[in-house]
Amino acid sequence: MGYVGIFWAINNDVKAVKNSVKSTKQNGGVKEYGAHINDWNLINDTLPRELQNESPYFYPRGRVTYNATLKQYTIFINATLNSKAILDSIKSEFNLANKNIKIDSKDIHYNSPDIPILEPFDEF
């Protein structure tokens, strides 16, 4: 059985807050679990002291959802994490071996857009 939930990649280690697909309520055909802002302390408290006390958005993060209609898991992932090693860790953590999986590394929610630095301008 697979899991849905949220995760962070901290020093190449996947830290997750998850729930089984079977016991997760469905919302509009999709099952998802957890919220980075609400669940960060569950992870932060397990980290070595030198890695603690950062914002929930400091470390690259993502989410695993399940679409019951398509019978498909989606891994929403920060583009910097889109590597075989990290994806293998996520698949293992969420028990997704031999499951129908889609990878989405372009969702803006999990990727901070480049913020242009505005040049100073003269008043007119």
pLDDT greater than 80 at residue 114: no
> Residue 80: its pLDDT value, please?
86
Over range 85-89, report the average pLDDT.
Answer: 94
Buried b (16+ CB within 10 A) or exposed e, 45-65: eebeeeeeeeebeebbbbbbb
